[in-house]
A = this chain, B = another copy of it.
Amino acid sequence: MQKIINNPDNLVDEMVEGFLLVHNNIVAGTDNPRVIKYKDAPVNDKVGIVTGGGSGHKPAFIGYAGEGMADAVAIGEIFTSPSANSFYDAFHAADSGKGVACLYGNFSGDVMNVKMARELAEEDQTNVKTVIANDDVPSSPKNNRENRRGSAGEILMWKVGGARAALGGDLDEVIASAQKAIDNTRSVGIGLSACTIPSVGKPNFSIEPGKMEIGIGHHGEPGMETVELKTADEIASLSLDVILPDYPFSKGDEVVALISGLGATPLIEQYVYYRKVAEILKSKGISVYRSFVGNYFTSLEMKGVSLTLMKVDEELKELIDYPTDAVYFKQQS
């Protein structure tokens, strides 16, 4: 296992320690070692934004803490939900009294723990509402959209919800904007190689050389099909075949596009892939309002990419454009 680690049992704690040392101009620790917060949280008279999830997706989730995005983040073990207690502590770290929007992904552990955390929060009159991201198209048929997993679309949900909160929205308004963001968003992942959970020591699935998996999940969940590895242009086309008809995105639409490498995919390949995505969208009369390319939501050292599109209207454009100073999401205009 070619990894730069110590005892896997201490991996997440040591990672958080390093993270806080580097980024102490933006984030701070809390009494719970599995909760970090924006250093100025709770922000007076602002709805608190909370998220959380398993580790191994860096910069998600902790990298999105900061001004204009998440106020507090609950941290799980590798590919494992944070505890209910950590979500609960994150609510308190984020709440200025105006309520908390917990914006997270649809994974059974996270759903269960957020539910328990909300029950704890009700007892002390902390007002928490949630949006559950389910943008990962291949994970369930369209008539079962509520069963779909969250994917890199979560980043756009945090961006939109965070901006609405920063602009003074109340809890219902923040929830409505974040829900609209994720309802307008579709993602698909393409896997070219597996990853290894450090405590396990070997990959828990495999992709043969020369093959790729369309629709792979962020934890290596099996996709729609395994096919011969294709060219970047063909992969871009196949990716769009999955998500365009699902929303559906169509001529005249404006979209935000987010391409994320899954960990070991060089940026050079991500740009080559995006080039073709942009070309196909243009040919279909769909215009790209803004695009993001980089390692935004990873799966340890998996090779592959995810493609996320969000249809935008004037409201979503304003919120996407709003300045942000999170650790891994900085936007000045």
Contact = CB atoms under 8 A, between A and B. Distances in A.
A80 to B, nearest CB: 13
A106 to B, nearest CB: 23
A168 to B, nearest CB: 22
Nearest to A274: B18
Interface stretch (A9-17, A45-53, A116-124, A135-143): A9-17
Contacts of A3: 192, 269
A14 B55 contact: no
Contacts of A229: 2
A118 to B, nearest CB: 28
Contact of A272 (B18, B212, B235, B293): B18
A265 B261 CA distance: 12
Interface in A191-205: 192-193
Contacts of A12: 268
A305 B19 contact: no
A28 B298 CA distance: 29
Contact of A271 (B19, B192, B291): B19
A285 interface: no
Q: Is the interface of A mostly helix, strand, loop or mixed?
A: mixed
A169 interface: no
A2 B268 contact: no
Interface residues of A, number: 61
A39 interface: no
A58 B268 contact: yes
A229 B1 CA distance: 9
A232 B266 CA distance: 23
A15 B276 CA distance: 10
Nearest to A4: B269
Interface string A55-89: 11011000100000000000000000000000000
Given A5-B231, A15-B268, A15-B272, 7 more contacts: A14-B275, A15-B271, A17-B275, A18-B275, A21-B275, A265-B301, A332-B332
**Chain A to chain B: the 10 pairs with minimum beta-carbon distance, closest first:** A18-B271, A264-B264, A18-B275, A58-B267, A330-B330, A4-B269, A2-B192, A18-B274, A14-B272, A15-B271
